[in-house]
C-alpha cells in the first residue's frame, strides 16, 4: 500500500484553513478548505460509510511532508504544499491533516472504474510535477505520496482480505480510557480461558476418546480463519465431520446464505434462515452431538489464551466467506477481535438473517463494555444448554 507512518497529533489547537487558489481566469478565485486533523478524520469516516452504501470506490492519498517542513521555513513550506495540493486536486476532493504537521490527506472520491495502477500512475506524476515546480528538487524529494484504495484491492483489482489500517485510523487512535478497558478485556480473556482449559480438561479427554472410537481422523480440526484486521490464524475445533470432507458444499451454502437465498422449514412448518447446513451428510453421529451442545467449540479457549480470539466477539470467517461479503459486512472483522460467543450467539444464534447477524456484531462493537461482555458470558450457558438455534 506504500508508505504509512503513524504519529501523535499536535497538542496545539488545530483549525481548518482556507486556501484561495487563482484560476486561469484572473477574475476567478477558487476557495478550498484544508481541514484540521479531527475534522478530516470525521470526513474520512463519513466518506467510508457513504462508499459502503453506494458501493463506490475512492482513494485516500497520504502526502508525507514531515521531512520537507522540518527546517526554519516550516510555515512558508506548509503554505506552498497545501496551496499546491489544492491546485492539482478537484474541488470535490477532501483535503486535510491526517497527522497534524506530518501527513496531509486527500480523499479523492468517484474514481470510477479506472484500475488502481492507472490511478496511482496518473496522480503520482501529477503530484511529482507540481511539487518540483513549487518547491524545487531538494524539498520535493523529501515528500512521499502513498495510495490507499477503498474497498481494499489487490493490484489485479480483486478484493483484498486484509485491511489497510490507513483507511481506519479511528480504530488505532483509541482514547486512553478505551485502551485501558481493552486491556482489562484481555486480562479477563487470559484468566477465563486458562481456567476453562484446566477445569474442562477431563471433558476434553472424554470427547477425544469418543471421536477416536467412532471415526477415523484427528481429534482436533484446524482451519484457517480471518481475525481482526483480516489477520489469519489457525482456528481450533473438535472434529465433528468425517475425515477429508469436501468444503465445496459449505462454500456454496454460505455464499447463498450471505446473499439471503437460504430458506429451511422449522418445526412449525414455517420457513427460517440458518447459518449452518441442516442435516449435513458430512457430520458424524458424535459430531452431531458436539455441534448441538456447542462442545466442538471448546478448543477455541486455546485461541483465546494466545490472543488470537476473545471470549466475546464476532465469529471469525473463513476466507471464502469473507470474499462473499458486501463491503459493509467487512466491518465485523475490523472493529473488534473475534470471539467464542457473542451477541448473535445469545440473541439470534443460527436463526438470524446474515445482514441482521452483521448488524448485531457491529452493534456489539459500538456498544462494547466490560459489563456487556459479562452479560453475554452469563447468558451463553443458557443458550448452549437449550440448544436453541444450534445445528
DSSP string, 363-381: HHHHH--HHHHHHHHHHHH
Domain containing 60 — which CATH number? Answer: 3.30.70.270
- At residue 17, φ and ψ (nearest 5 deg) are -120, 130
Q: Is residue 2 part of a domain?
A: no
Per-residue pLDDT tens, the chain, 391 aa: give them: 443 333 333 444 566 666 555 555 444 445 778 999 999 999 999 999 898 888 888 999 999 999 988 878 888 899 999 999 999 998 889 999 999 889 999 999 888 788 888 999 999 999 999 999 999 999 899 999 999 998 876 655 555 666 788 888 887 777 777 888 889 999 999 999 999 999 999 999 999 999 999 988 899 999 999 998 888 999 999 998 887 776 677 777 777 777 776 655 444 444 445 556 556 678 888 988 998 888 999 999 999 999 999 999 999 998 888 888 888 888 888 888 999 999 888 886 555 678 888 888 988 988 899 999 999 999 988 877 776 555 5
Are 299 and 335 in a shared domain? yes
Residues 285 and 165 in one domain: no
Which pLDDT score, from 0 to 100, does residue 54 have? 82
Whole-prediction pTM: 0.75
- Residue 5 inside a domain? The answer is no
Range of the domain at 256: 176-386
Q: Residue 339 is placed in which grid cell?
A: 470471539
The pLDDT, as a whole number, for residue 351 is 56
Domain edge (last residue) among 127, 157, 172: 172
Beta bridge partners of 235: 223
CA distance 295 to 287: 9
**Is 107 contained in some domain?**
yes
In sequence order, the 6+-apart residues with CB closer than 8 A to the CB of 126 are: 88
Do 187 and 270 lie in one domain? The reply is yes
63 and 207 belong to one structural domain = no
Is residue 12 situated within a structural domain?
A: no
Q: How far apart are the C-alpha atoms of 11 and 6, rounded to whole Å?
A: 16
Q: What pLDDT is recorded for position 99?
A: 93
Of 309, 283, 280, 299, give the one whose Cα is nearest residue 207. 299
- The DSSP code for 27 is T
In eight-state DSSP terms, residue 166 is G
Q: 126 with 232, same domain?
A: no
- Facing residues of 105 across strands? 62, 96
Burial class of residue 371 (count of CB atoms within 10 Å of its CB; 0-12, 13-18, 19+): exposed
Domain boundary among 122, 149, 172: 172
Last residue of a domain, one of 172, 189, 207: 172
Residue 334 and residue 245 in one domain: yes
Position 4 in a domain: no
User: At which residue does the C-alpha cell 483507511 appear?
Assistant: 167
Q: What is the largest CA-CA distance in the chain?
A: 88
Residue 97: what pLDDT? 94
Q: What is the DSSP letter of 308?
A: S
Q: Provide the number of structural domains found in the chain.
A: 2
Does one domain contain both 233 and 256?
Answer: yes
The span from the CA of 331 to the CA of 335, in Å, is: 6
Place of cell 496518473: 122
Amino acid at each position: 500500500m506504500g508508505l504509512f507512518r503513524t504519529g501523535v497529533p499536535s497538542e496545539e489547537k488545530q483549525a481548518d484553513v482556507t486556501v484561495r487558489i487563482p484560476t486561469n481566469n484572473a477574475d476567478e478565485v477558487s476557495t478550498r478548505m484544508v481541514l484540521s486533523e479531527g475534522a478530516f478524520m470525521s470526513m474520512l469516516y463519513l466518506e467510508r460509510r457513504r462508499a459502503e452504501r453506494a458501493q463506490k470506490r475512492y482513494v485516500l492519498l497520504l502526502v508525507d511532508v514531515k521531512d520537507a517542513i522540518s527546517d526554519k521555513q516550516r510555515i512558508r513550506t506548509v503554505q506552498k504544499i497545501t496551496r499546491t495540493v489544492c491546485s492539482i486536486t478537484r474541488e470535490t476532493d477532501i483535503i486535510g491533516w491526517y497527522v497534524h504537521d506530518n501527513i496531509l490527506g486527500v480523499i479523492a472520491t468517484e474514481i470510477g472504474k479506472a484500475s488502481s495502477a492507472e490511478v496511482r500512475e496518473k496522480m503520482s506524476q501529477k503530484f511529482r510535477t507540481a511539487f518540483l515546480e513549487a518547491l524545487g528538487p531538494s524539498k520535493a524529494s523529501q515528500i512521499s505520496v502513498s495510495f490507499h484504495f477503498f474497498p481494499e484491492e489487490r493490484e489485479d483489482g480483486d478484493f483484498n482480505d486484509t485491511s489497510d489500517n490507513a483507511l481506519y485510523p479511528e480504530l488505532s487512535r483509541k482514547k486512553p480510557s478505551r485502551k485501558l478497558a481493552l486491556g482489562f478485556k484481555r486480562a479477563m480473556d487470559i484468566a477465563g480461558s486458562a481456567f476453562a482449559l484446566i477445569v474442562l480438561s477431563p471433558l476434553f479427554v472424554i470427547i477425544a476418546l469418543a471421536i477416536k472410537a467412532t471415526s477415523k481422523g484427528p481429534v482436533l480440526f484446524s482451519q484457517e480463519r480471518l481475525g481482526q484486521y483480516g489477520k489469519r490464524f489457525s482456528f481450533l475445533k473438535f472434529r465433528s465431520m468425517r475425515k477429508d470432507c469436501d468444503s465445496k458444499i459449505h462454500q456454496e451454502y454460505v455464499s447463498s446464505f450471505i446473499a439471503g437465498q437460504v430458506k429451511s422449514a422449522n418445526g412449525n412448518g414455517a420457513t427460517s434462515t440458518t447459518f449452518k447446513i441442516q442435516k449435513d451428510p458430512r457430520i458424524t453421529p458424535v459430531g452431531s452431538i458436539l455441534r448441538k451442545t456447542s462442545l466442538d467449540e471448546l478448543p477455541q479457549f486455546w485461541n483465546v489464551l494466545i490472543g488470537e480470539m476473545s471470549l466475546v466477539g464476532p465469529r471469525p470467517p473463513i476466507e471464502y466467506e469473507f470474499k462473499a461479503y458486501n463491503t459493509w459486512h467487512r466491518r465485523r472483522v475490523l472493529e473488534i477481535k473475534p470471539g467464542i460467543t457473542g451477541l448473535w450467539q445469545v440473541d439470534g444464534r443460527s436463526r438470524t438473517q446474515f445482514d441482521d447477524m452483521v448488524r448485531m456484531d457491529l452493534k456489539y462493537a459500538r456498544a462494547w463494555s466490560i459489563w456487556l461482555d459479562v452479560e453475554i458470558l452469563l447468558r451463553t450457558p443458557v443458550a448452549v444448554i437449550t440448544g436453541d438455534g444450534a445445528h
